[in-house]
Chain A
Amino acid sequence: MTTPTDTSVGGPAEQRPPTGPDAEDLRQADLPPVMPLAISSLGLAVIGGIVLAAQYGRVPSLVVPTALAAVGGLLLVTALVLLARVRVFAWPAFGRVMGWGLVAYCVEAGILAFVFVHDHTPTRELLLFGAMLLLFAVDVPLMLGFSVARWQPAPEPGREG
């Protein structure tokens, strides 16, 4: 497969779209591992949901799903804390994407939560499903916001806000 850079786009060099590493590329090495942490957190929430749903109709063991949700939550908090410590970052773009993502994925998680409430799911299972849906509703917008903002030009330090 080819990439857009494989082609020779005409025009003087200074007018061509950048093709090599630029400021945004070089910044990547300084960014914390938000994507692996968030995707692992989402993965644990998904596995926990599967374990819980697979036991539907019998008294479920909540040990494994609870542990998965707890570790997933820990990974999410770690990702958020590490990201919050980054100084040079396109925070406006991140906030815009994460904000709208939160709206969209909270609606989606809310509909799925409605299913469990409507089915009179027992309280402990409902709380666990709720915790996993919460991880889902925050993990996904975090990944979307980060994956957009990491490639956006960051404001110069001291000129934010």
Chain B
Amino acid sequence: MADIAVERTTVPAGPAEGPPPVPEFSIVPVRGLPIVAAILVGLVVALGSNSLWALTFFHVAGGALWTSIDLFVGLVVGPILGKLSVPARIEFSTRFMPKMLLIMPTVVTMTLGAGFQLARHLGNLDASYPHHAWLVASYVIVGVMTLIALGLLEPANLAVLFELKKPRPNGERIGRLMRVFILTAGITGVLQIATIVIMTFLASR
């Protein structure tokens, strides 16, 4: 409660009349779609050709981006966002969240698709692989992250964007949804640390 009271006094009030301005924004950044399409075509080519380099590239690049973005958003951007003034938070969200809508599913598809094929290629997927239990543990962690990301984080992200598109956005609702977004981003960020531990362990065997 004290926390809220302090922030009430420190957060600057909006303009003298009317709700905080919501900048024009597109829920899905259409200009990014060709980039996503190019990446997915590249991934399919990598999967079809079974090129070890291409599979490693897509898995490592996708996994590094996924892990870094989750950690950065959950543990750095999220807490900062929670302390911003309402207009700043709205302006940041309208520019940031549409991009996340394209980036995250793309990097997740890259990582999982190429990773499965790469593990099969290297024989790591086989149940007789000596460190199979570690691999199964990584499946479980990815499964939990998938559920959190797709069942809580992404719906909250999208609902915030649609709420902001309304002529009179409901501030309380946006606050609730943003809390879900930041909390779930933080949880997936922490789970990503476990993924890093497992993947670096397996890569060093």
Contact = CB atoms under 8 A, between A and B. Distances in A.
A117 B2 CA distance: 57
Contacts of A15: 17-19
A39 interface: yes
Contacts of B179: 1, 3
A19 B172 contact: yes
Interface string B154-168: 111011001100101
Given A2-B175, A54-B127, A119-B117, A148 B139 contact: no
A64 interface: no
B190 interface: no
A37 B112 CA distance: 25
A11 B17 contact: yes
Given A50-B136, A147-B158, A111 B44 contact: yes
Size range of the chain B interface in the assembly: 35 or more
Contacts of B85: 7
A50 B15 CA distance: 52
Given A11-B18, A17-B19, A147 B159 contact: yes
Interface in B128-173: 128-129, 132, 136, 139-140, 143, 146-147, 150-152, 154-156, 158-159, 162-163, 166, 168-173
A115 B117 contact: yes
A126 to B, nearest CB: 14
Nearest to A43: B147
Nearest to A90: B162
A4 B48 CA distance: 48
Size range of the chain A interface in the assembly: 35 or more
Contact of A11 (B15, B150, B152, B182): B15
B14 A148 contact: no
B71 interface: no
B151 A42 contact: yes
A158 interface: no
Interface in A113-151: 114-115, 118-119, 139-140, 143-144, 146-148, 151
A17 B158 contact: no
A133 B148 CA distance: 17
B60 interface: no
Nearest to B106: A108
14 contacts: A3-B175, A5-B172, A5-B175, A6-B8, A11-B18, A15-B17, A15-B18, A18-B168, A43-B151, A50-B140, A53-B125, A139-B150, A140-B154, A144-B155
Interface of A: 1-12, 15-20, 22, 24-25, 35, 38-39, 42-43, 46-47, 49-50, 53-58, 93, 97, 100, 104-105, 107-108, 111-112, 114-115, 118-119, 139-140, 143-144, 146-148, 151-152
Given A2-B3, A58-B128, 10 more contacts: A2-B7, A3-B172, A4-B171, A10-B14, A11-B19, A58-B127, A111-B113, A112-B109, A112-B116, A148-B158
Interface of B: 3-4, 7-8, 11-20, 28, 40, 43-44, 47-48, 82-83, 85-86, 89-90, 105, 109, 112-113, 116-117, 120, 125-129, 132, 136, 139-140, 143, 146-147, 150-152, 154-156, 158-159, 162-163, 166, 168-176, 178-179, 182
